[in-house]
Structure 1
Amino acid sequence: MWTTFVSLRYRNYRLIWTSMLFSSTGQWMEQVALSWLVWTLTEDPFMLGAINGTRALPFILSPLAGVAADRIDRKKLMITTQFGVMLLSFSMSLLVYSGLIRLWMVFVFAILAGTTWAFNQPVRQAIIPNLVPKKHIMNAVALGSSAMNMTRLIGPIGAGFIIAMVGVEGAFAGKGVAYIAVIVMTFFVRVPPIVDRATRLGIRQDLWSGFNYIWNNRMIFTLLVMALIPIVLVMPYIWSFMPVFADQVYDMGPEGMGILYGAVGLGALGGSLTVASLGSFRQKGLLLMLSGIVMGAMLILFGMSTYFPLTLLVLVGVGFPQTFYNSLTQTLIQMNITDDVRGRVMSILMLDRGLGPLGSFFAGFMASIVGAPGAVIIGGSITFVLAILGFIFMPNIRKWDYNVPMAEVSNNS
């Protein structure tokens, strides 16, 4: 059992992990608050897809954020972006409380909040391998995912009840308070200095060298492309349409919406803890491919279900393989890149989220034609087919052995 939490033995990682609990709680509260606010202002499923797409759009800046993570003091960069998130959250709370809020303001907030998040994520991911021994990187990545998914269970449910009792402004204020704690904990983290190689080049050269590194590492490139599947084809259908399902399918308010989000979080927490417990299990590539297939199948069932208790079980079944898939993908990338390009590679992984708006806008468009349940079934079907094709035509990933370097597998496939 202790091997599941082995990375928490290290002080700096423990501080970062605890800060993730607070930051992720705030992020999930914002997710619920934004979706419910837009739904109450418009009652338009397309706008739900649009706001979630807009929130992810700034992640197209992730490559620049990665260059910053490899050039600037990483601790200072984290604190600066976290301070920006805190100010934005309190400002949004005041706008909603005063009654001055308008739809265009919500979209401006989504862009600004997404921008701070786009610069924060790559640097936070980049420092994790520096806080634990290499043999514990997979455990550290999976525990980080479990922290986010633990709050994915608590944050949405808590936000739903806060919205019902206090109003949307309470959820935004709660996120601001959470980030005060995040800033304090980050201040006490001792982050190893960055190697000075990146600072000897210009920004353009740094940016290009990151892309060139990925292009010349076929397996890393493949994993980054695979990371697109949940970002474009799964998450938009889950996070965009919960207000519609809660309000129109199950005739429930924000509390019901929070419970639906929480069910996904429960499954996601189980998935991340399972990855953290795998240790040196050899056939992680096979597990990665199978989790993609299960993810698509469960999404289809979610779109078909109209019985609330069954839907909750299905959403647990969506969250488990989604996080399993994400954690394994990120682990395989982290274990097979060098530290001097880690920030840039992880930022390009975050760039996948910048492509999330394609999925969000497509999901919103489909929902406006066939309804939210029909759009979810379509997204799940595409995911399922792509996962089956990947299982068949990507044996280099499917056969990857934990004890064999990925480049060696690639050369032998």
Structure 2
Amino acid sequence: MTLISSSAMLAPFRVRSFRFQWPADLLTSWGIEMENLVLGWYILVETGSVLALTLFWALQYLGTLLAPVFGMAGDRIGHRTVLCAMRAAYALVAAAVTALAWAEMLDPGYVFAAAALSGLIRPSDQGMRNALIGETMPGGALMATMGVSRTTADSARIAGALAGAGLFAAFGMGPVYVAITGFYGLGFLLTLGVAGRRLRIEPASANRPSLWRDLAEGLAYVWDTPCSLAAMWLAFLVNLTAFPLTSGLLPYVAKDLYGLGQTGLGTLVASTALGSLLGSVAVSLAGRVIRPARMMILFALAWYLALLLFVQMPGPAGGRLALTLAGFMQSLSLVPMSVMLLTSAGERFRGRVMGVRMLAIYGVPIGLMIAGILIERIGFVWAASLYCVIGLALTLSIALYWKADLWARDAPGNWR
């Protein structure tokens, strides 16, 4: 028997719940990626402002501070219930934008409002997906399952970005949003088929701790668990300095630096996603041979180096290659991070810890807004290079400060 087997990728589908969750996550991710690309391009073209573009992306993370509340709600009433409610809301917001587009009443103000509404709940989607996997899958299959699950977002960024760009260029906003609304609706229906929470004895309501007590316990757990605390700081760092370069700023790079249209933007987004997809497949194949904490740190450093290479590329061909490499390194860092957090948290704290993890996403809007200001003053290349250098330095600092908890083979963060 070989250590790496292709059957590892198929093993999660033996669980009925995952056979519903995987396509549900895939369709939802398609809708999200198409919506992000279409609306981001619309804002850039209509306003001609990189600051307006970064504001649009920042609004989508408006609800990051609510992520622990979603996590606590999942721990109390079940993560499937919370995820279903969230995905129904996505479909309703998309349906409203569809109606405005067909009525030819859509303008940047409505787009900002839709981004704000979606931004209240969407930042918690990935955390709820991960917590639901932890709730429904056996522990021994967690690494492979997380790798396979990650392919939903990665493959959606490829197909969703290319399809969204192509449909938008060919047919306009209305038909594209009909498709987006359909993806959200189907994702919601499939999520209903995912297994609910395992039965367990709950305390009487009079003795049940308050939501704020749950939140305090989740924060205290993270603070007192060195490997989890290190992962949270690293998650905030990459959201602050890495993700803005491959998400909200790509429309600016495509239009203003490379002179590309919507389809060209789609190929840049798809390049990042292709690399990320390959990384997710690699993680799912490697499975339990991975040391999560070590891998998280090493490939975070490699991710920043790949982004630094992307920043220096003068044209779209080299940019696509560098983005593919960056996406590959991204998955090899973030998937082990999620597995490490889920494994160490256990059933009691799983939802709360993933909710706290989602707080790190708040780094994205902060990073985007700062980047928008810096780009107007010193240009994209210098601003993005500064982000990469800061990311490399602080990642090394995290690795050195928590060396005993992240690097030792027998450290909890490296348990398999």
Q: TM-score range by the shorter chain?
A: over 0.9
| Equivalent of 1:405 in 403, 409, 412 | 412
The structure-2 alpha-carbon separation of the partners of 1:214 and 1:98, relative to structure 1 and needing over 3 Å to count, comes to same
The structure-2 alpha-carbon separation of the partners of 1:236 and 1:153, relative to structure 1 and needing over 3 Å to count, comes to same
Question: How many Å separate the matches in 1 of 2:116 and 2:145?
Answer: 30
Is 1:108 the equivalent of 2:113?
yes
Deviation at 1:91, TM superposition (A): 1.0
| Equivalent of 1:289 in 297, 321, 333 | 297
Across the aligned residues of Structure 1 and Structure 2, the Cα RMSD in angstroms comes to 2.1
2:3 aligns to what? none
Is 1:313 the equivalent of 2:321?
yes
1:133 aligns to what? 138
Is 1:388 the equivalent of 2:396?
yes
SS of alignment partner, residue 277 of structure 1: helix
2:342 aligns to what? 334
Deviation at 1:173, TM superposition (A): 2.5
1:301–1:377 Cα contact (<8 Å) kept: no
Question: How many Å separate the matches in 2 of 1:307 and 1:83?
Answer: 41
How is 1:202-221 mapped onto 2 (pairs within 5 angstroms)? 202-221=210-229
Aligned residue type for 1:345: V
How is 1:2-401 mapped onto 2 (pairs within 5 angstroms)? 2-193=7-198, 195=200, 196=202, 200-401=208-409
Question: How many Å separate the matches in 1 of 2:265 and 2:204?
Answer: 45
The structure-2 alpha-carbon separation of the partners of 1:366 and 1:276, relative to structure 1 and needing over 3 Å to count, comes to same
Aligned residue type for 2:339: T
Question: How many Å separate the matches in 1 of 2:401 and 2:204?
Answer: 37
Identity rate, percent? 22
Deviation at 1:120, TM superposition (A): 3.9
Q: Deviations over 1:80-103 (max 9, x none)?
A: 211110010121122233332232
Deviation at 1:381, TM superposition (A): 2.0
Deviation at 1:119, TM superposition (A): 4.7
Question: How many Å separate the matches in 1 of 2:42 and 2:271?
Answer: 21
What is the TM-score normalised by the length of structure 2?
0.92
**Aligned residue pairs, count:** 408
Deviation at 1:397, TM superposition (A): 4.7
Q: Deviations over 1:253-282 (max 9, x none)?
A: 100000000000000001111111222225
Deviation at 1:408, TM superposition (A): 9.2
More displaced stretch, 284-293 vs 327-336: 284-293
Question: How many Å separate the matches in 2 of 1:289 and 1:407?
Answer: 12
SS of alignment partner, residue 163 of structure 2: helix
Question: How many Å separate the matches in 1 of 2:325 and 2:415?
Answer: 34
Question: How many Å separate the matches in 1 of 2:123 and 2:204?
Answer: 20
Q: Deviations over 1:367-401 (max 9, x none)?
A: 12123333222222222222333344432354243
1:57–1:353 Cα contact (<8 Å) kept: no
Deviation at 1:285, TM superposition (A): 2.8
The structure-2 alpha-carbon separation of the partners of 1:275 and 1:394, relative to structure 1 and needing over 3 Å to count, comes to same
Q: Runs of 5+ in structure 1 lacking a partner? A: none
Q: Runs of 5+ in structure 2 lacking a partner? A: 1-5
2:273–2:324 Cα contact (<8 Å) kept: yes
Deviation at 1:39, TM superposition (A): 0.4
SS of alignment partner, residue 248 of structure 2: helix
Q: Deviations over 1:300-338 (max 9, x none)?
A: 121111122111110101111112211111111111112
1:19–1:182 Cα contact (<8 Å) kept: yes
The structure-2 alpha-carbon separation of the partners of 1:21 and 1:161, relative to structure 1 and needing over 3 Å to count, comes to same
